[in-house]
Structures are given as structure tokens and as C-alpha cells.
Amino acid sequence: MMSHEVAHPLQDARDIEAELRRLWRSVSSQAKPVMRARVMTLVVVTEARDEAKIAAELSTMMARHPARTILLLMDEAHEGAFDASATLFCLPGDHPLYMEQIHLHSSPRSPQRLVSAVRLLLDPSLPSALWWLLPATAYSTDRDALAALTDRHIIDSRLGDDPSLFRALPAPSVEDLAWEESERWREMVAALFDDPAQTPQLDRLTQVTLVQGGAAAEGWLMVGWLAAQLGWSLSMISPSEWAFLRPDGEWGKIRLKQAAAAEGLQQIRLESATQRFEVARKDEFVTCGRRSKTTDYQIVLPSHDRSRTTLLSRVLDRVHPDPLYQASRRALMAALMTNVDSSKLQRKE
């Protein structure tokens, strides 16, 4: 992939559009026909130090989701409103595809001018998405203003460390890469109970244990998903310990444990009084098993691509936000506003 880049900084949206027109004229004068590919506008907000890495990652998904990409690069030390540069990326071939990428270096202290520039750079005839590649609660004023300009709002809750971030996010347009990452786990947990003989155990669960490395968001979302699907009322005792009230009035416990030197979910164990159901990741494979006193059932599946641009591409493939994610978030938000008497959680081991 090659690029044509302007060397001097641009100061406002009109300068940026003028520079893009100049770049288009330049590539149009070449021998091969030029095709402009743009089905959406993608606004990406990240730290300035990650500029090169994010730009390279985005270039890998442009063949699937060609877009005008606007990178908002936050820098606390930046002076003034913003400086910008414009680039054309080319996907080579018999009919090369060219796409636009705009870099805006900005201070979070100047949100109004930045938001105005983004508004002018959006094409009202095309859908738009905001990918917030910062902790979901960082620069919340800027985030909310930019989200109001775009059709979709994509975050990664793994960048936060407090479940209260789910309460701070706007709804219902928000989508989450952590939710996309946990999809395979949800599929495997559900598959454990496909056997009609095992399905009744779902209503008898008394304990859930999740082991994960790094940020806890995937685990929290799994807790919300289980609660939404099984009709549990959740209560948070601490970020690592939760309680659930089953529809039959019985209490159960949820524990989230940290795994050293690991990233993401590593194990999910669901227990009733008589059986244990487990999904675990081991080495390069994900192992899906069901164990009890009388059964031992396993399925081994290859691990999946965990890159954030792959997850982003899956989000953009959908037309509408996932309603299961919204239901899981609601279950989590309800838990944050509920207290539970821990004495009710005691049971015979």
C-alpha cells in the first residue's frame, strides 16, 4: 500500500478538503484509471503516540470497509486547536482503489473547533462511525459531542477498569469490541446445554467462576449476558465478586479471578449442586468441555483472530447494534445500583 502525503500542517476543514482535491488531481493524472472507494466515514480517536500503529492497522481493513478515515490524535501537550495532514492510500491492482485518511493532532482542551472540523469533513450522504480508542470515560465531553455527529459509537470496554463505565456510556447506539471478542465464549457456553438432558441445569446453577487475564470487561459482559439470558437479578459485591438471584428466589455467587501472564477470558465454570460445566482456553486452542460424575464431553476449537481491526470489521459488518449486548449492559447497570445482604449467599459446599 502506498500513500501520497502533504508535508505541511493544515489549519481548518477547508484547507483539508482543498488538499484532498489536489491529491486526487495528482493521482488522476497517472496512466491507470483511478477509483475512489468510500462507503462510510470512520472517525477514530486515539492518543497521538499511537498514530503510526493505528494508521497501519486501519489500512489492513480498508479493502473490506473502504472509508474516509479521520484520525483524531489527542495530545495534552499540543498547542492551539489542531494541526492536520491529508493522505491518499492506494490498494494496488488492475484498478487501484484510493481512500482518504485525515490526521488531526489536537488538544482535548479545544473540543469545539475540533468537533466543528469533523462535522464539516463528514459526508452527509454516507453512514459514519466513531471508534473511541481510549478508555470509555476519558474526555467524555469530547466523546459525547463526536458521538452525536456520527451514526454509530464503537468503544472497547477492555480499556477501562471499573464496571461503572457501562453506566457512563450512551445508549442504545454504543457497540463494544469486548463484546465481539467474547462471542466465541458465549457460543460455547450455550453449546454445553444443547443436550435436552442438560438444559434443566441452567435453572439450577449456584456458582459461576470466570478466570481472565488483563482487563475484566469480557468477564463482566459474560456475567451480564448470563443474567439477561437466565432471568437473574445481579448485585455487585465488589468488582471481582457478584451475586445473582434466580427466578425461583435462590441466590448464587459469581467470582472473577485474575490469570497471570494472560490476556482475555481463560476459563468459565458453571456449577449446579450435581454438575460442573466448563469452557477453557489452553495454549493455541479453546477447549469446550462438560464434566460431571458420570459424563466427560469435550470439543476442541482453534483459537480465533483477536486483533482489534478484525473485531471492528465484524461490528461494521452489522447494520444495527446487537440487542443481546444492550440487554447484557442493562443487566450490569441494574447490578451497580443494587446492594445484597451477603448472609443470604451462604450455602453448603
Mean pLDDT value across residues 147-176: 80
- Count of residues in the chain: 349
Range 115-131 average pLDDT: 90
Residue 163 lies in a domain: no
Mean pLDDT value across the chain: 81
> From its phi and psi, is residue 2 left (phi > 0), alpha (psi between -120 and 50) or beta?
beta
User: Among 120, 155, 190, where does a domain finish?
Assistant: 155
Q: Mark whether 123 and 244 lie in a shared domain.
A: no
Q: Coil, helix or strand for 177?
A: helix
Number of domains in the chain: 2
Which pairing describes strands 241-245 and 251-258: parallel, antiparallel, or unpaired?
A: antiparallel
Assess if residue 24 is contained within a domain. Answer: yes
Q: What is the CATH number of the domain that holds 334?
A: 3.30.360
Are 74 and 202 within one domain? no
pLDDT at 1 over 50: no
Mean of pLDDT values over 323-343? 77
Co-location of 110 and 189 in the same domain: no
Residue with cell 491518499: 88
Alpha helix (H) residue ranges in the chain: 13-28, 51-61, 111-121, 140-149, 165-168, 177-181, 183-191, 217-230, 308-317, 323-336
15 pLDDT higher than 50: yes
Integer-rounded Cα Rg, in Å, for the chain is: 24
DSSP strand E in 19-110: where? Answer: 35-36, 40-47, 67-74, 82-91, 97-106
Number of helices and strands in the chain (H, E)? 10, 17
Q: Choose between 218 and 348: higher pLDDT.
A: 218
**Domain of 100, in residue numbers:** 2-155
**Which pLDDT score, from 0 to 100, does residue 6 have?**
43
pLDDT of residue 319: 82
Same domain, 238 and 276: yes
Residue 198 shares a structural domain with residue 302: yes
Q: Which amino acid, one-letter code, is at 297?
A: Y
Q: Which residue has the higher pLDDT, 101 or 63?
A: 101
**45-49, 105-109, 182-186, 227-231: the lowest-pLDDT one:** 105-109
Domain membership flag for residue 84? yes
pTM of the model: 0.84
Q: Predicted confidence band at 32 (pLDDT cuts at 50, 70, 90)?
A: low
Contacts of 50 (CB under 8 A, 6+ apart): 73, 133
Report the C-alpha gap between 313 and 59 in whole angstroms.
12
What is each CA distance from 337 to 140, 328, 332, in whole angstroms? 22, 15, 9
Q: How many CA atoms lie within 13 A of 264 on its CB side?
A: 21
**Residue 340: which pLDDT band, with cuts at 50, 70 and 90?**
low
> Quick one: CA torsion of 56, 58, 63, 68, rounded to 10 degrees?
-120
Instruction: Looking at the structure, tell me whether residues 198 and 307 fall in a common domain.
Output: yes
For the cut 70, the answer to whether the pLDDT of residue 305 exceeds it is: no
Q: Is residue 176 part of a domain?
A: no
Last residue of a domain, one of 139, 155, 171: 155
- Together in a domain, 46 and 139: yes
Lowest mean pLDDT among 8-12, 97-101, 131-135, 242-246: 8-12
Give me the percent of the chain exceeding a pLDDT of 70.
80
More confidently predicted of 347 and 138: 138
Residue 213 lies in a domain: yes
Highest mean pLDDT among 11-15, 57-61, 113-117, 146-150: 146-150
Assess whether 195 and 107 both reside in one domain.
no
In a domain, 259, yes or no: yes
Confidence of residue 59 (pLDDT cuts 50, 70, 90): confident
Same domain? 324 vs 185: yes
Q: Does residue 150 sit in the same domain as residue 199?
A: no
- pLDDT of amino acid 132: 92
**121 and 197, same domain (yes or no):** no
Q: Sorting pLDDT into bands at 50, 70 and 90, what band is 58? A: confident
Pairing of strands 97-106, 233-238: unpaired
* Among candidate residues 114, 140, 155, the one where a domain is terminated: 155
The predicted pLDDT at position 330 comes to 87
**Is the separation of the CB atoms in 89 and 1 below 8 Å?**
yes
Please, which pLDDT band fits residue 41 given cuts at 50, 70 and 90?
A: very high
Is 320 found in the same domain as 212? yes
Tell me what the mean pLDDT of segment 161-166 comes to: 74
Residue 189 inside a domain? The answer is yes
Q: How confident is the model at residue 283 (pLDDT cuts 50, 70, 90)?
A: low
Residue-level pLDDT at 135? 85
pLDDT band at 93 (very low <50, low <70, confident <90, very high): low
Residue 120, domain member (yes or no) = yes
Determine the pLDDT at residue 295: 45
CB 149 within 8 A of CB 226: no
According to the model, what pLDDT value does residue 296 have?
A: 47
Cβ atoms within 10 Å, residue 186: 19
- Which pLDDT band holds residue 168 (cuts at 50, 70, 90)? low
